[in-house]
A = this chain, B = another copy of it.
Amino acid sequence: MSIVEHAIKGWQSIPFSKVAIDDAFWRPRLAVLKNVTMKVCLSHCEETGRIANFAVAGGLLEGKFEGIYYNDSDVYKVLEGAAYSLMTDRDPVLEAEIDRIIDLIAAAQEADGYLCTYYTLEAPESKWTDMEKHEMYNGGHLIEAAVAYYEATGKRKLLEVACRLADHYDSVFGPDKRHWAEGHEEIELALVKLYRATDEERYWKLALWLLEERGHGHGVGKIWDTPDWGPAYCQDDVPVRDIKEVKGHAVRAMYLYTAMADVVHASGDTAYIDALHRVWAHTVERNMYVTGGIGPSVHNEGFTHDYDLPNESAYCETCAAIAMVFWNHRMNLLFGDGKYADIVEREMYNGALSGISLSGDKFFYVNPLASKGEHHRVDWFGTSCCPTNLARFLPSIGQYAYAATDDGVAVNQYMNSETVLEVGCGSNVKLKQTTAYPWDGRIELTVVPDRTDKFTIKLRLPGWCRGYKISAQGEQVSGLEGRPENGYLVLNRHWVPGDSIVLELDMPVEVVRSRPEVEANLGRFALQRGPVVYCIEQTDNPGLSFDGFALSAHEPLLVEHRADLLGGVTILHGKEADGDGRPCVFIPYYAWDNREAGFMQVWVREGEDRHLYKY
């Protein structure tokens, strides 16, 4: 594909609040999220002074600033997650608690709209002097929380705080005003959200201005002067439209690209499109793990050089995987290509989901692809961006399932769910999905338009799928209609209420091999089945030791669904290629470290084949 591809599709997101999830995989996770994760996050925010900082800054409480300058953002992210929970599941107790916190936040806002408790309490004279200090990053998360809470409850208080803050930014920064290249991107995508909630175009225009500020030497702060890192660390090395390669801090880079896609979607301006295509290919084809993890290095929490994908020392921050979802979801909406939704799926079932324990109260910041047994999820972190990112990512998972196209609907993610949306010509259509995904590749879709109407239903054909069958309206689909376009099967038909579509995706166990440039994986393979990447964990394999075994890539694997294990997982039984041929068991990568500690590996050594014929 040429990287110069200017066609903007401009699909619209279907908010998760319009998607009722009744899915054996996701439903229990959403319940744990609301009942456990949300509570522990709020409680940790309380215990660590993150909430009190607002009360102190607002003069409602005696005290001083506690923690790190970006701690406000964690509270905002929990609020955003709480809003998502409330949207599908009203809860007066939780809502009252959020309202209480919102009052504290409002109190902490200064008269001119400024809001950042660290500066208000610790260094009011130093505002806007160090672009690495996350002032606008905090503000961005406030805006995202405010939009979510407004959409969930209709309450405007936090939204007004957010607008005052954004207007404050607008009054200080912009053409003929001060320069600013925020060290940690986030504000840009948040401003586009605020524009969508308020219809005020100045917000996306401010986002565009902030994007355009980058790469012109405006960056000021310690980071810019650190030789090892420099401006590339925070994507301030080149103007964004000239970006060729993914660089620097992984989460920052992903938030930047997310905002670039958002601004193209909002403005219709194609100036960033080439850069987006270039950097997407560079990220995904050379700098992404099979789990969807990105950013191999602990040093800069980010990228190093192409194909540097070590397994045991893989950093792969949970936030970076979630940020890949944000970016790829936007790319999917913008370009209408299933390859972006493929990445969303890869993160959903692997790199992002591994960040949280099945119990919902323990978290990975770092997601390696191999461990000798010392790496474990913990309750909370000093820098606790990952738990709070999970708290807002998971409850909104439904938004990735569907999108509104210009002439119908795209089904992007497969989960037992129902949605109602308006299709091109004004009909409402109810879609009901029935599936045992990700463990089974059969998906049944019931189509109920309020009147018989012609529109297009697109079904994503996942990138991992090599063979499939599809029937619609009771008959096999064949020929051109059955062939994918840009990763979708496209059914443009007259739909009658009650019509069904059955998509059967072959879901075999796949042996995944790495490019030879990835040294860490030479002589190794990984296993994937459907969207789920597998790993081998010591507790299931007491006879094996870290890297002390090898498997044959041609040995068949017994596929067993175990409802009683790890919240319900399909596991794979294999056996060693060499030695005594001892049995070995693979579990989904996302589910590791939920039982006894021990080694874990995704990429396993390839041993001799028992027999192998070739042609």
* Minimum C-beta distance from A615 to chain B (A): 4
Question: Does A539 sit at the interface, judged by CB under 8 A?
Answer: no
Q: Check A557/B467 contact, CB under 8 A, given A507-B506, A583-B483.
A: yes
Residues of B within 8 A of A275 (CB): none
Q: Check A556/B467 contact, CB under 8 A, given A514-B615, A615-B514.
A: yes
Q: A339-B611, A518-B614, A521-B615 provided; 15 other pairs, C-beta below 8 A? A: A1-B610, A1-B611, A288-B615, A309-B615, A461-B556, A463-B554, A465-B556, A466-B510, A469-B561, A470-B558, A480-B583, A482-B560, A483-B558, A508-B508, A515-B615
Residues of B within 8 A of A561 (CB): 469, 476
Residues of B within 8 A of A463 (CB): 554, 611, 613
Q: A571-590, CB under 8 A of B: which get 1 and which 0?
A: 01111000000010000000
Q: A469-493, CB under 8 A of B: which get 1 and which 0?
A: 1100000111110111000000000
Question: Does A468 sit at the interface, judged by CB under 8 A?
Answer: yes
Q: How far is the CA of A510 from the CA of B506 in the complex (A)?
A: 11
So how many copies of this chain end up in the complex? 2
Q: How far is the CA of A183 from the CA of B572 in the complex (A)?
A: 51
Q: How far is the CA of A593 from the CA of B118 in the complex (A)?
A: 79
16 contacts between A and B (CB under 8 A): A1-B610, A285-B613, A290-B615, A465-B556, A466-B510, A466-B557, A469-B559, A469-B561, A478-B558, A478-B573, A479-B583, A482-B558, A484-B555, A506-B507, A506-B559, A518-B614
Q: A586-615, CB under 8 A of B: which get 1 and which 0?
A: 000000000000000000000000111111
Tell me whether B506 and A509 are in contact (CB under 8 A): yes
Residue of B nearest to A338 (CB): B611
Residue of B nearest to A557 (CB): B467
Q: How far is the CA of A572 from the CA of B366 in the complex (A)?
A: 43
Q: How far is the CA of A599 from the CA of B285 in the complex (A)?
A: 36
A residues 277-336 with Cβ under 8 Å of B? Answer: 284-285, 288-290, 309
A residues 514-570 with Cβ under 8 Å of B? Answer: 514-515, 518, 521, 526, 529, 554-561
Residues of B within 8 A of A510 (CB): 466
Question: Does A60 sit at the interface, judged by CB under 8 A?
Answer: no
Question: Does A61 sit at the interface, judged by CB under 8 A?
Answer: no
Q: Check A508/B511 contact, CB under 8 A, given A468-B559, A480-B583, A615-B309.
A: no
Residues of B within 8 A of A465 (CB): 556
Residues of B within 8 A of A556 (CB): 461, 465-468, 484
Q: How far is the CA of A120 from the CA of B285 in the complex (A)?
A: 74
Question: Does A448 sit at the interface, judged by CB under 8 A?
Answer: no
Question: Does A512 sit at the interface, judged by CB under 8 A?
Answer: yes
Q: Interface on A for B, CB 8 Å cutoff?
A: 1, 284-285, 288-290, 309, 339, 461, 463, 465-470, 476-480, 482-484, 506-512, 514-515, 518, 521, 526, 529, 554-561, 572-575, 583, 610-615
* Minimum C-beta distance from A63 to chain B (A): 48
Residue of B nearest to A469 (CB): B559
Tell me whether B560 and A466 are in contact (CB under 8 A): no
Residues of B within 8 A of A480 (CB): 583
* Minimum C-beta distance from A25 to chain B (A): 19
Residue of B nearest to A553 (CB): B466
Q: How far is the CA of A355 from the CA of B573 in the complex (A)?
A: 39
* Minimum C-beta distance from A280 to chain B (A): 10
Tell me whether A467 and B529 are in contact (CB under 8 A): yes
Tell me whether A509 and B467 are in contact (CB under 8 A): yes
Residues of B within 8 A of A309 (CB): 615
Q: How far is the CA of A399 from the CA of B464 in the complex (A)?
A: 39
Q: Check A466/B509 contact, CB under 8 A, given A461-B556, A483-B558, A483-B583.
A: yes
* Minimum C-beta distance from A576 to chain B (A): 11
Q: Check A467/B611 contact, CB under 8 A, given A483-B573, A558-B483.
A: no
Q: How far is the CA of A476 from the CA of B339 in the complex (A)?
A: 36
Q: How far is the CA of A370 from the CA of B462 in the complex (A)?
A: 32
Tell me whether B339 and A560 are in contact (CB under 8 A): no
Tell me whether A284 and B613 are in contact (CB under 8 A): yes
Tell me whether B467 and A514 are in contact (CB under 8 A): no
* Minimum C-beta distance from A594 to chain B (A): 20
Tell me whether B479 and A573 are in contact (CB under 8 A): yes
Q: Check A467/B285 contact, CB under 8 A, given A476-B560, A483-B575, A556-B461.
A: no
Q: How far is the CA of A560 from the CA of B559 in the complex (A)?
A: 25
* Minimum C-beta distance from A491 to chain B (A): 13
* Minimum C-beta distance from A587 to chain B (A): 13
Tell me whether B558 and A285 are in contact (CB under 8 A): no
Residue of B nearest to A489 (CB): B558
